[in-house]
Amino acid sequence: MPGGRSLSGTLRRGLTFWRRSVQARVVASTVLLSAIVVGGVGWFLIQQTRDGLVDAKVDRSVAEAANDVSDARSRLAAIPGTDDDAAAQLQQLVEPMISRAESRGVSVVLAGPVGDEGLDLDLAGVRYSSGLRLRSVPQALVRHFGDSLDPAWSFTEIRYAAGDRRASVAGIAVGSTVQLPADGEYYVIFLLFPMDQEQATLDLVTRALFAAAGLLLVLVAGLTWVVTRQVVSPIRMARRTAERLAAGHLEERMWVRGHDDLARLATSFNQMASGLQRQIRQLEELSRLQRRFTSDVSHELRTPLTTVRMAGDVLHDARDMFDPATARAAELLQTELDRFEGLLSDLLEISRFDAGAAVLDVDDLNLVDVAHRVVEMSRPVAAQRGIEVRVVALSEPVLAEADTRRVERIVRNLVNNAIDHADGRPVEVLVHGDDHAAAIAVRDHGVGLAPGEAALVFNRFWRADPARARTSGGTGLGLSIALEDTHLHGGWLQAWGVRGEGSQFRLTLPRRAGKPLRHSPIPLVPADVERLS
């Protein structure tokens, strides 16, 4: 759905921004920590304010209840002794108390008398303020007066009947006893003090704290953003400058302003860039001279080599007429001339790669046919060494768009290298492909490679064992040229090896020229070797 794709795209962009922006992470971390601290302090202040309001309300409520009960007792004592009507005394007690209490927002409940079985509010005769529900008096407080006549108080929820007031409100219930002169019975007066004003005060304080906390977090976020921007901006400038330097713009420099640590960092960065620019230019000049020297020497040696080759061919053809020592010298001369000519050809090819003059002649080819042709050409050398070279086609045909001449040269270099290091053991050429890639792997069971040598075998003139005798006439450039040919195709040329287990070189090419490679059909580590953990 378009909405889902839009949401996922927004999430990806947000995650990318979060991973890349140090400033955003610093601001978010600072705001989060500040929110935790402000939340903890705010909760503590709210609790302290709440406890203070409640304690003050309890003290005032108990004091007011004591005053009201004391006044009620005084009025009862002032009633003439001739009046022995208990109902009339209760009436004279309750009505003035309810009237004065309601003017202060306090509710009154008069219950009694207190009998042997305690106090029961469900019995008839309970008098209370209009609009009040008797369930507002907590049962624990009612049971208290069944056992004791001492004053007591408790928190409660004051409930009201339908009307203008709220259905319920938190409050404090204070109970005290009075004795009627008429019958000598004890009655209990419950005064219910609502805490709506305290709740309003607490709500006001809470809103003020939330508003202050929000403003404080916004201020902290803004200050953190400004401060981190002052630090991150030079770092971003350094990153952009480094990217331009890496792209080849060696004249790029950072803008230096002030004399603080960041300015000194920019100065040091510029000095480093200037040093790198000088060294890179020196290396470029040296590389240019080296490429020119290699190319010139290779071309200049062609003419004398041709002359020496012609003389060597004459001597080699007439060697049967020479004495054995002279004939052997003629054969050695011919062998070394072949090797020297191969070295010049490799040097010329390397110079073309260095100059960027190498191009591909792309055609459709079957890598299985390439493998068979190369193996047939190398069979005489392998037979001389007593080495069996065989082709294992895991799928056929294995087609790819590539330069036939260059691919054959790559495979020939890999097969010759395997024969050089096989130590008389068989060599397998594996060929396999799928819909996206085609691969050839050359596996030998010879000396193998030491740790770290797999990354060095493609270096020019590198040899794993300098003391190892060469009998195949190699130049030391074959694998380097193979790697350059592979790069021209956009492929992979990789090596694996373990001492005593042999080695395997794998060439992987895309089936379609110019397509990126993502995998190889042949694993780099041979199936007959246990992978080391």
Q: Which residue has the higher pLDDT, 327 or 41?
A: 41
Comparing C-alpha atoms, which of 104, 101, 92, 90 is closest to residue 68? 101
Give the strands of the sheet with 427-433, arranged side by side.
389-393, 427-433, 437-444, 502-510, 492-498
89 & 221 share domain: yes
Number of domains into which the chain is organized: 3
pLDDT of residue 521: 92
| Stretch 442-457: mean pLDDT | 86
| Stretch 84-89: mean pLDDT | 66
Measured CA to CA, the distance from residue 355 to residue 201 in angstroms comes to 85
Q: Is the peptide bond before 397 cis (omega within 30 degrees of 0)?
A: yes
366 & 354 share domain: no
> What contacts 125, CB < 8 A, 6 or more positions away?
111, 112
pLDDT of residue 415: 92
Asked whether the predicted pLDDT for residue 464 surpasses 70, the reply is no
- For tokens 């379609």, the residue is 512
Asked whether the predicted pLDDT for residue 430 surpasses 90, the reply is yes
Of 190-194, 226-230, 262-266, 472-476, give the range with the top mean pLDDT. 190-194
**pLDDT (tens digit, 9 = 90+) per residue, 6-29?**
677 777 777 777 777 777 888 888
- For tokens 């290091």, the residue is 421
162 & 38 share domain: yes
Measured CA to CA, the distance from residue 491 to residue 520 in angstroms comes to 10
pLDDT of residue 471: 46
| Stretch 89-97: mean pLDDT | 74
Could you tell me the pLDDT band of residue 163, with boundaries at 50, 70 and 90? low
> What contacts 205, CB < 8 A, 6 or more positions away?
45, 46, 49
pLDDT of residue 351: 67
74 & 117 share domain: yes
Asked whether the predicted pLDDT for residue 315 surpasses 50, the reply is yes
- For tokens 């396999």, the residue is 432
Asked whether the predicted pLDDT for residue 268 surpasses 80, the reply is yes
Domain annotation covers residue 264: yes
Domain annotation covers residue 522: no
| Stretch 277-290: mean pLDDT | 76
Domain annotation covers residue 396: yes
222 & 75 share domain: yes
pLDDT of residue 532: 46
Environment class of 150 (CB within 10 Å of its CB; exposed 0-12, middle 13-18, buried 19+): exposed
pLDDT of residue 472: 47
Q: Which residue has the higher pLDDT, 421 or 17?
A: 421
**pLDDT (tens digit, 9 = 90+) per residue, 483-515?**
888 888 889 999 998 888 889 999 999 998 888
179 token code pair: 């004795």
pLDDT of residue 295: 64
134 & 283 share domain: no
Q: Containing H/E element for 447?
A: none
φ, ψ dihedrals at 474, nearest 5°: -70, 155
pLDDT of residue 298: 63
Could you tell me the pLDDT band of residue 467, with boundaries at 50, 70 and 90? very low
354 & 367 share domain: no
Comparing C-alpha atoms, which of 157, 171, 488 is closest to residue 352? 488
DSSP-assigned states of every residue in 172-237: EEEEEEEE-TTT--EEEEEEEEE-HHHHHHHHHHHHHHHHHHHHHHHHHHHHHHHHHHHHHHHHHH
Asked whether the predicted pLDDT for residue 459 surpasses 90, the reply is no
240 & 262 share domain: no
> What contacts 382, CB < 8 A, 6 or more positions away?
388, 389, 419, 427
Per cent of the chain over pLDDT 90 is: 21
Measured CA to CA, the distance from residue 8 to residue 16 in angstroms comes to 12
332 & 369 share domain: no
Q: Which domain holds residue 177?
A: 20-250
Domain annotation covers residue 524: no
> What contacts 143, CB < 8 A, 6 or more positions away?
118, 119
Measured CA to CA, the distance from residue 429 to residue 504 in angstroms comes to 10
46 & 190 share domain: yes
Measured CA to CA, the distance from residue 200 to residue 382 in angstroms comes to 100
Q: Which residue has the higher pLDDT, 498 or 239?
A: 498
Of 58-62, 81-85, 100-104, 257-261, give the range with the top mean pLDDT. 58-62
Minimum mean pLDDT range among 12-21, 351-360, 467-476: 467-476
- Residue 499, SS3? coil
Cα end-to-end span (Å), the chain = 45
Boundary of a domain, candidates 250, 270, 304 = 250
Asked whether the predicted pLDDT for residue 248 surpasses 90, the reply is no
pLDDT of residue 241: 80
- Alpha carbons within 13 angstroms on the beta-carbon side of residue 209 total 18
Measured CA to CA, the distance from residue 348 to residue 262 in angstroms comes to 50
Q: Interior CA angle at 505 toward 503 and 509, to 5°?
A: 165
Of 144-153, 279-288, 498-507, give the range with the top mean pLDDT. 498-507
